[in-house]
Structure 1
Amino acid sequence: MAQRIHVEQAGDPRVDDFRELSTADRRPDRPGGRGFVIAEGTVVVRRLLASGYPVRSLLGVERRIDELAPDLAGVDVPAYISSAEVMAEIVGFHLNRGVLAVADRAPRPAVADLLRTSNVIAVLEGVGDHENLGALFRNAAALGVGGVVLGPGCSDPLYRRSVRVSMGNVLRVPFAPLEPWPDGLALVKSNGFRVAALTPRADSVRLRDLAAAGGKVALLLGSEGPGLSEEALSAADVAVRIPMADGVDSLNVATAAAVAFYEFAER
């Protein structure tokens, strides 16, 4: 059972894990980074509690901690309770969702292990926007994608904004970095995946036609703006496109991913 502890002063050292999150929740390799996984709001906190990430503690207003009582019944961590005003002083900004949880990072699966348990995966290159990445993970969870493989230039899926936008689904969908790039795609292919690069090029195959052919597929998606590098496109088995209306040549990467995931989820 979680230990309910009231915090009256923002300077209480017991809540240091939550302090000044706008600057302190960076990757471990960045200046000031502590590398924690931070969940915001009851829905995302529940997903963190149900995940394999080792939860350190919670901080929230009493009403939100009360709402999480069933989820905390078997969890032996402190649940710090404060007023909204004290919480804002600790965190560094006003948090509308009223509750946070912080956890340590968990070991990531190897790419080979991820491939063995999946039929459809996403492979990303240069997806550096945290919100796009979080939305993509949410789409992957909703549409049954087995995992996400990260190439160069991708942001950290466990950054607070990505976790929030994904509604905690970055904690459910396995992900792993792929190196070297793009030569590492040979490992994906050797596990029976066809690497399909999404591109608006007119000479590419329609996405629906590829989906109809069946088989295991790795959907290769690039960054906003420039899209996939020429090296990544050359390493793919096939280039595919989402047909669009005249005058429109691209979609937001998370939206394009959702369309592609849906085509394969349907089959």
Structure 2
Amino acid sequence: MAHLIEITDPADPRLADYRDLRDTQLRKALETEHGLFLAEGEKVVRRSVQAGFSPRSFLMAPRWLDGLADVLDGSDAPCYVLSEKLAEEVTGFHVHRGALASLERRPLPSVESVLEGARSVLVLEDVVDHTNVGAVFRSGAALGFDAVLLAPRCADPLYRRSIKVAMGAVFQMPWTRLPDWYDALPALSRAGFTTVALTLADDATPIEDAVAGLDKVALVLGSEGHGISPRWQEAADRRAIIPMAAGIDSLNVAAASAVACYVTSHRRTGG
């Protein structure tokens, strides 16, 4: 069972994992150096532990101890108990969900193992906003996608905000980073996937037509600013667009992913 430790000093050095969460650059450096990530909220904390990640520690307001008693009973990590006011001093924001956990990262799996048995995968190129990455994971999980592949410069799915927006979907969907950006799409084609890039290119066809009849689909989404790079647009097997009403040319990547995932998950397959 987790060892409950009452904390009265917000400067307590044992709370280092949770300090100054508003400072994104500081958090990235700390999490990279120590190989950790944070989960926030009862559901997300529970899902992260159920997914097999090892807790380093927990930080909780007293009112969450009963609700997460089963999670705490199954761990020997320390649980720091402090008031919500003190938690806010430590983290730098109002911890309205009242529960945090610091967990050990695991080595990323190979692309081959993530793709094993998959028929519908999402491929993200340079999606740099943590909220958008979390939203894409949530859409993919909700609409039956099997895995997510991320180009090297994509935001971290295990950053606290990504996890929170994804509602823990980052723990249930297999994912990894692509080691080779330049030839990533041709490699997926060789693995039997038809790569379908969501783009405003002149030769893009409606998403319903682009995915119709396909067995294995890799749906490719680009960055928040310029979209998919010229290299990936050229390398994709097909280019697709979500038809828009007059005056609007596109959706943001989070909304576009939800629409495209829905259409792709309902495609007619070729058998």
1:1-267 correspondence to structure 2 within 5 Å: 1-23=1-23, 24-27=26-29, 34-267=34-267
Secondary structure, counterpart of 1:249 in structure 2: coil
Q: How big is each residue's C-alpha offset from its partner over 1:196-249, in whole Å with a ceiling of 9 and x where there is no partner?
A: 111123431221123321310101110123111111100000111111111111
Pairs aligned (count): 265
- Give a deviation string over 1:27-51, Cα, whole Å, max 9, x none: 5687xx5442101111111111112
Distance in 2 between the 1:82 and 1:126 partners?
A: 38
State percent identity of aligned pairs: 45
- Aligned to 1:67, the other structure's residue is in SS state coil
Change (3 A) 1:164 1:222: same
Contact 1:54 1:106 in 2 (8 A): no
> Mind listing any 5+ residue stretches in structure 2 that lack a counterpart?
none
Alpha-carbon distance between aligned partners in 2 of 1:35 and 1:243, rounded to the nearest angstrom:
42
Moved more, 21-30 or 40-49: 21-30
User: Deviations 1:163-196 (Å, cap 9, x if unpaired)?
Assistant: 1111122222222111322212222112110011
Change (3 A) 1:28 1:98: closer
CA distance in 1, matches of 2:52, 2:190: 29
Q: Is the 8 Å Cα contact of residues 36 and 102 (structure 1) preserved in structure 2?
A: yes
Tell me how far 1:98 sits from its aligned partner: 1.0
Residue 52 of structure 1 deviates from its aligned partner by 2.4
Report the residue type matching 1:194 in the other structure. Answer: T
Q: Distance in 1 between matches of 2:143 and 2:72?
A: 29
- Say which SS state the counterpart of residue 176 (structure 1) adopts: strand
Please report the TM-score for the alignment, with normalisation by the length of structure 2: 0.91
Any conservation in 2 of the 1:130–1:155 contact (CA below 8 Å)? yes
Segments of structure 1 that go 5 or more residues without pairing to the other structure are: none
TM-score (norm 1): 0.92
Q: 3-state SS of the aligned residue for 1:121?
A: strand
Q: Secondary structure at the match of 1:48?
A: helix
Q: Quick one: distance in 2 between partners of 1:92 and 1:35? A: 22
Letter in 2 for 1:46: R
CA contact (8 A) 2:31 2:37 kept: no
Between the aligned partners of 2:37 and 2:241, the Cα distance in structure 1 is 35
Q: Is the 8 A contact 2:47 2:171 kept in 1?
A: yes
Instruction: Judge conservation of contact 2:197–2:233 (CA < 8 Å) in 1.
Output: yes
